Chains A and B, each alone.
Chain A
Amino acid sequence: MAKSEDCIHILQGLLVFGNVVIGMCGIALTAECIYFVSDPHGLYPLLEATENDDIYAAAWIGIFVGFALFALSILGIIGIIKSDRTLLLVYIILMLITFAFEMASCITAATHRDFLTPDLFLKQMLERYQKAEPANNNDKWMIEGVTKTWDKLMLQNHCCGVLGPSDWQEYTSAFRFTHNDADFPWPRKCCVMDAQGLPVNLDGCKLGVPGYYNSNGCYDAISGPVNTHAWGVAWFGFAILCWIFCVLLGTMFYWSGIEY
């Protein structure tokens, strides 16, 4: 019948279109996740030291899921055009497995983002920044990572501490252990620097005269990129999954309608 032929053709067309979109989104997901894994803001050592770097794991899964989606979308297009039951069954099952992985990635990214509170970074900064005596090799490497990252953060973003320079006064720290309070109320990197990398006015910095020290906290500079990363992986993945859901339902319906 012409009407049901038309319906089938429309359904085929929609499914092919759906798969094309899935393929493109797969490439986009891979690209986005590669960007996040490359850590353009250099914040990975901080997350590594919190032992809570699962948003990176989520991004890694995203890279492979993106490739898989691209490959599967091609398989899907071929299967739909040829109306091949076997191909489409393989497509549906593999797509479900990919769906499960991507779901894991999204949920991991969203959940672990919630762990990254200011207090977590504060505690880690106080315990590890410029700590003099590493307990073991692992500790030493984390200390170096944390110290270098914080130095770079404070210099580039003109900030100090997580919530402000008073972090260094309110809490004792590994830094305070080796640097006395009178000479170093806060680290030198919190001072406004000149072109040579020396404080413009060291006394002004130690006193806390506005203009000679960085009075903002660095939390915004950390949470901005981390949020972008986590939400980029989680919500873009969620959008793709919603689309895949529709396409898969359509494919299942199409599959059950194909005669042997």
Chain B
Amino acid sequence: PHSRLRHSGARTMVPLLPLLLLLLPAAHGAVEHVAYTPFLTKTPVLEGLTTGSTFVLEQPRCVFDKYSNVDIWLVVALEKTAATFNNSVAPGTAESAFQNFPNSVPAYMTLNATLANYPCPKPAGDITVLRVGSETSCTWDNARPTCNGPLPGPGPYLVKFLALKGSEPVAETDWSQPIMLRTAKSPNSISTTDGGHSAGMIALTTILSILFAILLAGLVAML
């Protein structure tokens, strides 16, 4: 089971330093790339790994260890809009609110945690999972933009982890492989007329009919 912390999402103003901007040509070069791809939990085998509106990710243990004092957020996007996600979007705002996904924002940020939630190394035998989509109480609550609400469609979704120090992104993982959720069929598609008859039933009917016919013939013969 995972733990989640509420992050108050305070935004600090970053003073604009044109000189620094010239010296550091790529502003988002400050975001380091961690070679880790989020993946769905492999052990133990979970029946509910993907359902109609949730999926289960493995926790990113021993991934962000070299960063201290970071908040690790999960970014969830649709496969087709993931490329338009900007790392400098702040969590807890309308630009990353679950309630606005996927209508007006390409991705949302949720499942805030610190390194204390993801101790390294992972104790053997522990189940370390993150269930994306488990919070149903805040699906429509605009006051909770970091809601871990049920996903609105079957996807496919891409996720990545983003580490923020204060409000600056410092590290990110790769985008995951596309995660497709389950779609449910209508029960009307189940055919119940295709029975066929078992061999036993055919044998039974045939033999009994023959026996009855013989008895009737015998009755007629004796009368």
Q: Which residues of A contact B (CB under 8 A)?
A: 92-93, 96, 99-100, 103, 106-107, 110-111, 113-115, 117, 119-120, 122-123, 126-127, 165-166, 169-173, 176, 180-183, 185, 203-204, 206-210, 213, 215, 234-235, 238, 241-242, 245, 248-249, 252, 255-256
A166-B214 contact in complex given A111-B201, A180-B53, C-beta closer than 8 Å: no
A residues less than 8 Å from B185 (CB atoms): 170-172
A110-B201 contact in complex given A123-B190, A171-B184, A252-B222, C-beta closer than 8 Å: yes
> Please, what's the 1-or-0 string for B165-208, where 1 marks a CB less than 8 Å from any CB in chain A?
00000000000000000101111011110111110110011011
Majority SS of interface residues in chain A?
Answer: helix
- Some 30 contacts from A to B, beta carbons below 8 A apart, are A92-B219, A96-B216, A110-B200, A110-B205, A115-B195, A119-B192, A120-B192, A122-B187, A165-B47, A170-B185, A171-B189, A181-B53, A182-B51, A182-B54, A182-B135, A182-B136, A182-B150, A207-B131, A208-B47, A209-B44, A215-B47, A234-B204, A235-B204, A238-B204, A238-B208, A242-B211, A245-B211, A252-B218, A252-B219, A256-B222
Q: Among residues 31 to 60 in chain B, which have CB atoms less than 8 Å away from a CB atom of chain A? A: 44-49, 51-54, 56
Of A120, A183, A210, A255, the residue contacting B45 (CB under 8 A) is: A210
A residues less than 8 Å from B201 (CB atoms): 107, 110-111, 113-114, 234
Q: Measured between alpha carbons, how far is A95 from B179 in the docked complex, in Å? A: 69
Majority SS of interface residues in chain B?
Answer: loop
CB-nearest residue of chain A relative to B202? Answer: A110
B residues less than 8 Å from A235 (CB atoms): 204
